[in-house]
Amino acid sequence: MTTDTDNGDPNPGTITRLLSNYEHGDSAALEALFPIIYDELHELARRHRRRWSGDTTLDTTALVHEAYLKLSGGAQIGARSRVHFLRLASRVMRQLLANYSRDRRTAKRGGALVHFRIDHLVDGDLAAETPQDRSLVLTALDESLRALEAADRRLYEVVECRFFGGLTVEETATAIDVSAATVKRDWTLARAWLFRDLETRLGVHEP
Amino acid sequence: MSEKTFGSVRDLFERALPLPPSQQADFVRATAPHADIADEVISLLSAYERSNGYFEQLSKDVVAPLLSAMHAGDTAEAQPDAGMLAHYEIIERVTDGGMGVVYKARDTRLRRMVALKCVPRRQTSNPGAHARLMAEARAASALDNPNIGVVYEIGEAPSDGAFISMAWYEGETLRAKIQRGLMPIDEVISIASQLGAALVAAHTAGIIHRDVKPANAIVTPAGVVKLLDFGIAQLMSAAADDNSIAGTIAYMSPEQTTKAKLDARTDIWSLGVVMYEMLTGRRPFRGPDEESLIDAIRNDVPAALALLRPDVPPMLATIVETCLKKSAAERYQTAEQLCVALKEHTTDREAYELYLKGRYAWGQRNRAGLQDALAYFSGALDRDPTFARAHAAMAEAYVNMSNFGYLPTSEALARAEVSANRAIALDTALAEAYTTRGFVRASRAAYAEAEKDFLKARSLNPSYAWNYHYYALLLTMLGRLDEASDSLRACIELDPLSLPANTTLAIVAMMQGCSAEARRQFEHALTLSRDFPLTLYYLGALSASEQRIPEAISLLEQALRLAPGFPGVRAALAYTCRLAERPADAQAITQAMEQSASDPTSVTTLALGYAVLGEHDKAFEMLETVRWSVPTLILLRADPLLARFRADPRYPQLLARDGLR
């Protein structure tokens, strides 16, 4: 299989083909798609950053969908393939943030650990005010997600789709092949589980 | 956790989730196959309840800013944190949540501090629309009202965006204020009225705010509210992605979530949401994500204010509910109507101020302070005889007069009961009034009715600390010491500095036979105040019973000086002088005790004095006709110097008279 990531943008045809192969069980297609999406998300994030005050309109959902529009080139690739693309992009997004938080952790090794209280974050739009706070929360989130993945793989996958890719309940159901009702229930339980785990990692005091 | 266990956890979690939070734990405990599973499920349910909105926040406040910082090598972010923007010298970044960034900056031309808000401009938005929005923001900046933040300038930034420079106000955002804890009703009304006044001025000028929320209101140290960001919401929403709705959804009106055409009544809705949040500390419409939040705004009826905060006057609750009518036609039609409704409702200001002064005087915790407090409360009631809270405070003050022996018990309690009943008649949701009446009933040996009042008060206002303390006194009287201890801990958690609760916790520990723990707790109470007679007396008595004579004498002398009417204090001192082999002093103090016992209220004091001094016959004879007050009955049961008295065979009969064992 060939991809044209090495010299410039992959063309939409390539993406469509890879997605189709992936859906038909070609795992190599997945390996080829992953870096393409990774680079695209990276690039999009960079471009957003350059806007003068751009971080306020930047979120994972918007990025994932923008990456989709860009990479598919507006081609009609079918609802199912679109969902698979978004599913994959969610995973890439999760990976991107995990790598980032790992790099930050390495860079900060030896520094004092800031005690960050999760209750500052609940209900607060200005809560994590400094980049340090944010890195800390992101690192904890990464660890919690690993723990969730180990505890219940499906719950984890629902979080990946909903939180990192902004997939709707229905899209998530299609992506991981369960019913929408199951996704709703999983999403509820997963949030309870994650919140509690994050609380212990971030050092919350019981009310 | 095994697959099977996780399966039952999941199953129970899902079945319990639709129940009201207060019933979930009972249901789970009754249904779970093992206690471990029940614990796990309850912990998850509680986490779920607390996680409301958290993940959405996480996405906006943590993930999004980090994403954009990712390429800067470090977390240095895109905007200038120092340097110049036009003729403004950036001093520091104030916030970057929500939409746009706010800096504290110095205007280098006019040499004044400003808040500089930077609004991103959407690259694809059409230039005509942008110009129109800028014009609108400029029109709004002409608004001149004491409750509207002054806008100095709206300009185009050199690099693709707009900036707005505003007056810099010292103070805190209403958001921060709400987060610090429940706000007094009076303050809520004052702030709501000022926000209403700001809206009246803007609406009259044809300007809708569209983004009224606590983060947009500054409360200055003098209590003046400044509503910020008039005419900017639209500029901001044009800057946002077309797919997302700009601003904080939680405060949006139903019509605002549908991109319908908006009029001034959308601001009235938002003010209703803000009032609800000020009163209860929580937003009326909540949801784990945008979708369900919008659904809640359109369809949910918020939890009744009276349930969340019983002391919200019904009239005020009605005002908030009217603001939150789904159909704009059913709300107040103008901000002016809302302001009139608020004004009509406001308690007589002067009465309220007298009441606050009374509360403050009470804080002095001595006789003069209490008497001043009573005078202020009765002044407040002269001005406004329907002021339920002042009646309740009056009742509470009388109870304290009785407890410290400043007024004959029967008289004080009779007055307390009259005031408490009047308060309850005026406002059936006043926890304080039930608490006080419970105490009076406990003093009348009507234990079951007393307990009912305390439980009622607790359900009305679970964060009213005092109720836990009085309830603990009843439990202590009844010998239910473990429950008393729990209730005191609940009180201390809410009010860590409470002297009576901290002291009573020590007393209960003493009654449970844990002298060392009791001493530690007494000493903790002494670190809070060295002038609280109850602590001084009991630690003195404990010290005397442990033969720590100099310590006991010093503590009891201080107690006597501060509260000469405190039952048992002279006797304890006389007893300790005897131990110290100072018979002449003991004699003199005993005489003083007998002389001071001239009025009927002192009979108990004298009798307990004799009991301490070992003259049991005299004591039992006098106590036959005595009516116990709560503190003296606790003293009878708790005082370490009365241990021998309690061993007397006549003692159980004495208790049985009041239905106690």
- Segment B105-163, tens digit of pLDDT: 888 888 888 888 776 555 445 566 666 667 767 777 788 888 998 888 887 765 556 77
Number of A/B CB contacts below 8 angstroms equals 194
Listed by number, the residues of chain B in 157-216 with a beta carbon closer than 8 Å to a beta carbon of chain A are 157, 159-161, 175, 179, 215
Question: Cβ contacts (< 8 Å) between A123 and chain B: which residues?
Answer: 52-53, 57, 179, 283
B161 with A52: Cβ contact below 8 A = yes
DSSP 8-state symbol, B134? H
Q: Is B482 exposed, middle or buried (0-12, 13-18, 19+ CB in 10 A)?
A: exposed
Smallest CA–CA distance, residue B54 to chain A, in Å, is 5
Q: Which two tokens stand for residue A130?
A: 């400094």
Q: Which two tokens stand for residue B611?
A: 């009991």
A55 with B119: Cβ contact below 8 A = no
B166, B249 Cβ separation under 8 angstroms: no
CA dist., res. A104 & res. B220, Å (int): 39
With b for 16 or more beta-carbon neighbours within 10 A and e for fewer, the A163-187 pattern comes to bbbbbbbebbbbbbebeeebbebbb
Model confidence band, residue B73 (pLDDT cutoffs 50, 70, 90): very low
B66 with A45: Cβ contact below 8 A = no
B588, B572 Cβ separation under 8 angstroms: no
pLDDT digits (tens, 9 = 90+) for A136-188: 777 888 889 999 998 899 999 999 998 888 888 898 999 898 999 999 999 99
B589, B574 Cβ separation under 8 angstroms: yes
pLDDT digits (tens, 9 = 90+) for B542-557: 999 999 999 999 999 9
Instruction: Confirm or reject contact between B497 and chain A (CB < 8 A).
Output: no
Listed by number, the residues of chain B in 86-115 with a beta carbon closer than 8 Å to a beta carbon of chain A are 95-101
DSSP 8-state symbol, B348? P
Which pLDDT value is given to residue B631? Answer: 84
Which pLDDT value is given to residue B373? Answer: 93
CA dist., res. B469 & res. B475, Å (int): 10
Q: Which of B187-201, B248-262, B486-500 has the lowest mean pLDDT?
A: B248-262
Per DSSP, the three-state class of B227 is strand
Query: Which of A163, A162, A164, A108 is CA-nearest to residue A139?
Result: A108
Q: Quick one: closest CA in A to B173, which residue?
A: A126
Smallest CA–CA distance, residue A13 to chain B, in Å, is 27
CA dist., res. A67 & res. B58, Å (int): 22
Q: Which amino acid is at B128?
A: G
Beta bridge partners of B85: B88
CA dist., res. B660 & res. B259, Å (int): 68
Which pLDDT value is given to residue B345? Answer: 67
Instruction: Confirm or reject contact between B30 and chain A (CB < 8 A).
Output: no
Average pLDDT over residues A71-93: 77
B625 pLDDT above the threshold of 90 = no
Inter-CA distances, B92 with B64, B117, B169, B255, B456, Å: 21, 12, 15, 37, 50
Per DSSP, the three-state class of B602 is helix
Q: Which two tokens stand for residue B659?
A: 């239905």
B6 with A163: Cβ contact below 8 A = no
Which sign does the torsion angle of CA B34, B37, B42, B45 carry? negative
CA dist., res. B605 & res. B574, Å (int): 14
A195 with B50: Cβ contact below 8 A = yes
Q: Which amino acid is at A102?
A: R
Beta bridge partners of B167: B114
At B98, give phi and psi (nearest 5°): 60, -135
CA dist., res. B422 & res. B410, Å (int): 18
Most distant CA atoms of chain A, gap in Å: 57
Average pLDDT, rounded, for chain B: 84
Q: Which of A43-52, B42-51, B101-110 has the lowest mean pLDDT?
A: A43-52
Smallest CA–CA distance, residue A46 to chain B, in Å, is 6
Model confidence band, residue B241 (pLDDT cutoffs 50, 70, 90): very low
A148, A193 Cβ separation under 8 angstroms: yes
B70 with A100: Cβ contact below 8 A = yes
Which pLDDT value is given to residue A125? Answer: 35
Smallest CA–CA distance, residue A24 to chain B, in Å, is 31
Asked whether the whole model's pTM tops 0.90, one would answer no
Percent of chain B surpassing pLDDT 70: 87
Per DSSP, the three-state class of B462 is coil
Q: Which comes out higher in pLDDT, residue B400 or B98?
A: B400
3-class secondary structure per residue, chain A: CCCCCCCCCCCHHHHHHHHHHHHCCCHHHHHHHHHHHHHHHHHHHHHHHHCCCHHHHCCHHHHHHHHHHHHHCCCCCCHHHHHHHHHHHHHHHHHHHHHHHHHHHHHHCCCCCCCCCHHHCCCCCCCCCCHHHHHHHHHHHHHHHHHHHHHCHHHHHHHHHHHHHCCCHHHHHHHHCCCHHHHHHHHHHHHHHHHHHHHHHHCCCCC
B244 with A62: Cβ contact below 8 A = yes
With b for 16 or more beta-carbon neighbours within 10 A and e for fewer, the B494-509 pattern comes to bbeebbbbbbbbbbbb
Please, what is the Cα angle at B285 between B284 and B291, to 5 degrees? 175
pLDDT digits (tens, 9 = 90+) for B411-460: 888 999 999 999 888 777 678 899 999 999 998 889 999 999 999 988 87
Q: Which comes out higher in pLDDT, residue B243 or B420?
A: B420
Q: Which amino acid is at B132?
A: R
B45 with A124: Cβ contact below 8 A = no
At B30, give phi and psi (nearest 5°): -75, -25
Q: Which amino acid is at B8?
A: S
CA dist., res. B305 & res. B313, Å (int): 9
Question: Cβ contacts (< 8 Å) between B288 and chain A: which residues?
Answer: 188, 191
Instruction: Confirm or reject contact between B598 and chain A (CB < 8 A).
Output: no
DSSP 8-state symbol, B500? H
* ipTM of the modeled complex: 0.79
CA dist., res. A31 & res. A91, Å (int): 12
Among B211, B267, B427, B495, the one annotated catalytic: B211
Average pLDDT over residues B171-178: 87
Q: Which of A110-119, B2-11, B35-44 has the lowest mean pLDDT?
A: A110-119
Question: Cβ contacts (< 8 Å) between A97 and chain B: which residues?
Answer: 63, 66-67
Q: Which amino acid is at B226?
A: K
B244 pLDDT above the threshold of 90 = no
CA dist., res. A197 & res. B8, Å (int): 19
Q: Is A190 exposed, middle or buried (0-12, 13-18, 19+ CB in 10 A)?
A: buried
DSSP 8-state symbol, B566? S
Q: How many CB atoms lie within 10 A of CB B462?
A: 13
B79 with A52: Cβ contact below 8 A = yes
Active site annotation includes B486: no
A193 with B72: Cβ contact below 8 A = no
B63 with A60: Cβ contact below 8 A = yes
Q: Which amino acid is at B245?
A: I
B397 pLDDT above the threshold of 70 = yes
Q: Is A17 exposed, middle or buried (0-12, 13-18, 19+ CB in 10 A)?
A: middle
Instruction: Confirm or reject contact between B52 and chain A (CB < 8 A).
Output: yes
pLDDT digits (tens, 9 = 90+) for B451-486: 999 999 888 777 788 899 999 999 999 999 999 999
Looking up tokens 């009041």 gives B658
DSSP 8-state symbol, B154? E
Which pLDDT value is given to residue B474? Answer: 95
Smallest CA–CA distance, residue B437 to chain A, in Å, is 30
Query: Which of A150, A151, A183 is CA-nearest to residue A165?
Result: A183
B75, B90 Cβ separation under 8 angstroms: no
At B277, give phi and psi (nearest 5°): -70, -40
Most distant CA atoms of chain B, gap in Å: 100
* Probe site for chain A from B10, B41, B42, B54 (most A CB atoms < 10 A): B54
Listed by number, the residues of chain B in 260-319 with a beta carbon closer than 8 Å to a beta carbon of chain A are 283, 288
DSSP 8-state symbol, B153? E
Instruction: Confirm or reject contact between B242 and chain A (CB < 8 A).
Output: no
Q: DSSP letters of B643-654?
A: HHHHTSTTHHHH
Contacts within 8 Å (CB) and 24+ apart, A75-81: A75/A12, A75/A13, A75/A16, A77/A15, A77/A16, A77/A19, A79/A174, A80/A23, A80/A174, A81/A16, A81/A19, A81/A20, A81/A23
